[in-house]
Amino acid sequence: MTDIRIEGAEITIVGGSSGMGLGLAQRLLDEGARVTIAGRNEKKLASAREALGDHGRLRTAVLDLTREEEVAAFFGDRGPVDHIVSTAADIEGAYQLLPDIELGAAQRVVESKFYGPLLLAKYGASCLRPSGSITYTSGVAAYRPAARGTVVAAVNAALEGLVRALAVELAPIRINAVSPGWVDTPIWRFVAGDARQATLEAMAKRLPVGRVGRSEDIADAIRFLIGNGFTTGTILHVEGGHRLV
């Protein structure tokens, strides 16, 4: 029996309007949590709200986690928070071979997957109870980089370093990350464009588990990291055996 309760807990998910974050929001609402989903695009938040249904426990917030003043204001306005999760990533234009990489696109990956998470910790930690946690999302690219994915691979690795450092500095607050493998979510339009389905099908054949991931697979892993009070500084790999092939 875990010591961390989900029912009634106040949980913020940055990136909760799509993909894994949306899957997690559903899972946590089903378990009775009070959930705030945050992202930059108001329309995406509205359709996520519609998909999640009206539980009376769901809030939405427009937030760009790369903007320090927005992150400061977001946490300045809130009462105690039990858990913070970020699944946010802005990888548009970043999947390129080296000669074609534009620095601006690379910087947006760093901002959304490194500086943004740093800001969430900087301003969010003071709102968290001692039993609270922050969970980030890195990715298998850090371990199995593919051509065109250099920037994302490097940033995922940096984020995992941040997790270990924050787990020490912010203790007893727990800091962890899930590292997903290939999961069929809207992000794939930026990774593979029209080749999305064929690329995912080819990977499914390669993986020991015989399929690519679903948002629910990752939601389940983040749920574990939030709920297990003896886990901190951990990178939880949920990737269908991708690191083995």
Ligand X SMILES: NC(=O)c1ccc[n+]([C@@H]2O[C@H](COP(=O)([O-])OP(=O)(O)OC[C@H]3O[C@@H](n4cnc5c(N)ncnc54)[C@H](OP(=O)(O)O)[C@@H]3O)[C@@H](O)[C@H]2O)c1
CB of 200 to ligand X, least distance (A): 8
182 scored as a contact of ligand X (CB under 6 A): yes
Residue with tokens 């998910």: 13
CB of 70 to ligand X, least distance (A): 9
CA dihedral 239, 165, 227, 186 (to 10 degrees): -40
Residue with tokens 């886990």: 231
149 contacts ligand X (rule: CB under 6 A):
no
Q: Which of 27, 36, 64, 203 binds ligand X (CB under 6 A)?
A: 64
**Contact status: 139 vs ligand X (CB under 6 A):** yes
Q: Which residue's CB is nearer to ligand X, number 129 or number 196?
A: 196
Assess 142 for contact with ligand X (CB under 6 A): no
**Can you list the alpha helix ranges (DSSP code H) found in the chain?**
19-30, 42-52, 68-76, 103-110, 116-124, 150-169, 188-191, 196-206, 215-227
Tell me how far apart the alpha carbons of residues 29 and 175 are, in angstroms, rounded to a whole number.
22
* 115 scored as a contact of ligand X (CB under 6 A): no
The answer to whether residue 112 forms part of the interface with ligand X (CB under 6 A) is yes
Q: How far is the CB of 21 from ligand X (least distance, A)?
A: 5
* Residues of this chain, 36-55, that bind ligand X according to CB under 6 A: 39-41, 44
Q: Which is nearer to ligand X, 185 or 231 (CB)?
A: 185
Environment class of residue 7 by beta-carbon count within 10 Å: exposed (0-12), middle (13-18) or buried (19+)?
exposed
- 180 makes contact with ligand X (CB under 6 A): yes
Out of 12, 17, 150, 176, which residue is the one contacting ligand X (CB under 6 A)? 17
137 is an interface residue for ligand X by CB under 6 A: yes
Cα separation, 65 vs 149, in Å, equals 22
Which range binds ligand X by CB under 6 A, 11-19, 74-82, 120-128, 224-232?
Answer: 11-19
The burial class, CB within 10 Å (0-12 / 13-18 / 19+), for 190 is middle
d(CA 175, CA 163): 6
Residues that bind ligand X (CB under 6 A): 14-15, 17-21, 39-41, 44, 63-66, 87-90, 112-113, 116, 137, 139-140, 180, 182-183, 185-187
